[in-house]
Amino acid sequence: MDISSAKFECSAPDLDSCPDEALPEFAFIGRSNVGKSSLLNVLAGKDGLARVSPTPGFTKMINIFTMNKTWRLVDLPGYGFASGARKDSAKFNQAVVNYLKHRTNLCSVFALIESALPPQDIDLEFVEWLTRNAVPYVIVFTKADKVTPAEAQANMAAFMERIAGWFEVSPKTFTCSATTGNGRAELLGVIDELMKAIAAEAEAKPPAPPEVTPFRSVNQLARHNRKRRPDMNRPW
């Protein structure tokens, strides 16, 4: 997939402030300093798309970009940062939790994990949370150029070993480097594939009748939304 346009849509402080759910969304998230901003700039082919910040945890908003006028790239706040106001530095902030649980047009999360480090508890916790909440995700190991290939391999294998028991089929994994650009085509390929699957599914299905029943509770709404999520061959 080529990126022909990347347009900043908005910075949303919470789920309610996010734009309509008309376009499929692909969300990127990871521990602060995992290399998310750098990777997003490489993916978009546009420096400055996501701010490359020297201060961990600076970006606390849900930043949304419309790509190729057909899908949205969502830059979620990093988790687990230590600096900044204590109240804001909850491990996984509530806006992110709400977005991941209830955003009906969220097609896949790209969970970024640094390949230059051995498995970090905070990342394991986050991936476990995604799994428990049935959020569709793939794992993206970042900064593959930072250590030797053997070291990166060992770290990635150790991470996958720690989570192996949670699934019958392990999630898809990708390795990339914002420095070399390796992995870019593969990540855009995932988005392309899911977009095609969604288009095929939409074509096969007659349009749903308009929703008329009001929801009695947030939980009921969540259950309804989960059913409406496109079936995208969840990786577990």
Across 41-102, the runs of DSSP E, i.e. the strands, are 62-67, 71-75
Nearest CB to ligand GDP, comparing residues 183 and 230: 183
Nearest CB to ligand GDP, comparing residues 105 and 175: 175
Nearest CB to ligand GDP, comparing residues 155 and 177: 177
Nearest CB to ligand GDP, comparing residues 97 and 147: 147
- CB closest to ligand GDP, residue no: 35
Determine contact, residues 67/49, Cβ cutoff 8 Å.
no
Closest approach, Cβ 225 to ligand GDP, in A, equals: 28
* Residues in contact with ligand GDP by the rule CB under 6 A: 30, 32-38, 52-53, 56, 78, 142-143, 145-146, 177-179
Nearest CB to ligand GDP, comparing residues 145 and 186: 145
Closest approach, Cβ 42 to ligand GDP, in A, equals: 8
Determine contact, residues 74/12, Cβ cutoff 8 Å.
no
Q: At what angle do helices 94-102 and 218-228 cross, to 10 degrees?
A: 50
Q: What share of the chain is helix, strand, coil (3-state, %, to 5)?
A: 35, 20, 45
Closest approach, Cβ 91 to ligand GDP, in A, equals: 15
Determine contact, residues 18/64, Cβ cutoff 8 Å.
yes
Closest approach, Cβ 200 to ligand GDP, in A, equals: 34
Closest approach, Cβ 132 to ligand GDP, in A, equals: 24
User: What is the C-alpha separation between 129 and 151, in angstroms, rounded?
Assistant: 27
Determine contact, residues 17/60, Cβ cutoff 8 Å.
no
